[in-house]
Amino acid sequence: MDSVKNKLAGMRWLFIKPGKFFDDVVRNGSYWDGFVFMALLAFIVGYGAVIGDPTLSADMVLADGANVSLVIFVGLLVITSIWGLFAALIGMKMRPRIAVALTLKEAIFRCLRVVLFSIAPLALLFFHGPLLLGIALLGVLVLSVIGVSKALSIKLIPALILQALTCGSIVGGAALAVDSFFKDPEIQARRSHSYPANKLVGKPAPDILIQPTGGTPFKLSELKGKNVVIIDFWATWCPPCRFGLPMVSEVASKYKDKGVVFYAIGDGSVNQEKLYLEQRKIDAIPASSNADGFAAFMVQAIPETIVIDKQGIIKSVHIGLSKNEKEELTSEIEAALAAN
C-alpha cells in the first residue's frame, strides 16, 4: 500500500511541474509511471474525442470512449517500444564518439522511459487536422531530443543526430516494408484471402434486409437491375471508419447520377449515426441490418466496404483502408458500371 501511495505521490509532478516529472522519470523513474502517463493521455484524448460529439448518446460515449482510448493506448505502447529499441541500438553504435558509459540494457531501459513521454503527443493525430498534426510532431521531436540527451547523458546536438537516425531508420524501414507489401504479388495474393469476406468477390451478394433510417426496409435483391450498390459496415467508435467513410462518400458521390447508391450500415443507433453523417456532410444513406446481415457479408473487421454491380454480383471487398483507397474504389465502380 505504501509503495502505491509513493508512486501516486510522485505523479503529482505530472500536473504541478511536468518538466520536473519528465526529468525525474528519465533519470530515476519506473515503467509504471510511463504506463500510467500513457493510459491517462489515452483516456483524455479518447473521451475528449467523443464527449463533445453531439451525435452520441451517453451510453455510446462510454462505449466509444473506452474503445478509442484502448486503441490509442495500445498504439502508443507499440510505437514507443519500437522507438526506444531503435534509439538505444543506434545510441550504442555512436558510443565511441559520444562516450556514453552505458550498457546496451541500460540504454534500452532509459530510452524506453524517454519515449513513453516523448511519443505520447502522437495520440492527437487520431482525431485532428494538419495544424495539430504539425504541433504534435514538433512536440515529439523536442521532447524526444531533450529526453534522449538526458537519458544518455549526451549533448543536444548528438541527441538530435541520434533522434534523426532513429526516426529515419523507423520511417524509412516502414515505408520500404509498406511499399513492398503493396507491390509484392505473392503477398497480395495471400492478403486477398486473409479475411473470409474476400471470398465473396465474384459471387451473388447475400440478400440481406436493409433498414434505411426513417425509411422502409427492403431486401438487397430489390436493387438488382437498378443500381450499383456500395455498402460500408462501420461504427462511430472506429478511427479507421472515421477516416475512410468520407473517402468512400467522396468517390460514390461522383457517380450518384449514374445510379450508384451508398449505404453506411452501422452497429449502433441509426438515428445517432444519421446525425453523425449529416454534421460531417458525408453523403451516405444511414441504414442498419440485423446480425444476419453482418454474418452474411462475413464482417470480422471494420470498415468493410463492398461494391456490388447491377446484376447483384460482388465486384470487390475492401477491409480496412488501402494505400490507394479512392483510386481503387473509382476503378471498381467504373468497372461495375461498364459491366451492365
Residue positions annotated with a catalytic role = 238, 241
Grid cell digits, residue 311: 446484376
DSSP labels for 63-120? HHHHHHHHHHHHHHHHHHHHHHHHHHHHHHHTHHHHT----HHHHHHHHHHHHHHHSG
Return d(Cα 191, Cα 67) in angstroms, integer: 26
Instruction: Kindly give, in sequence order, each residue whose CB lies less than 8 Å from that of residue 154, ignoring residues fewer than 6 positions away.
Output: 98, 100, 148, 162
Instruction: Kindly give, in sequence order, each residue whose CB lies less than 8 Å from that of residue 223, ignoring residues fewer than 6 positions away.
Output: 229, 261, 312
Return d(Cα 222, Cα 185) in angstroms, integer: 37
Question: Distances from the Cα of 249 to the Cαs of 160, 201, 274, 317, in angstroms?
Answer: 42, 21, 14, 16
Return d(Cα 249, Cα 255) in angstroms, integer: 10
Which of helix, strand or coil describes residue 153? Answer: coil
Work out the angle at residue 284's Cα, subtended by the Cα atoms of residues 282 and 290, and round it to the nearest 5 degrees.
130
Grid cell digits, residue 276: 453523425
Quote the strand ranges of 172-215, DSSP E. 209-212
Phi, psi of 317 (to 5 degrees): -135, 125
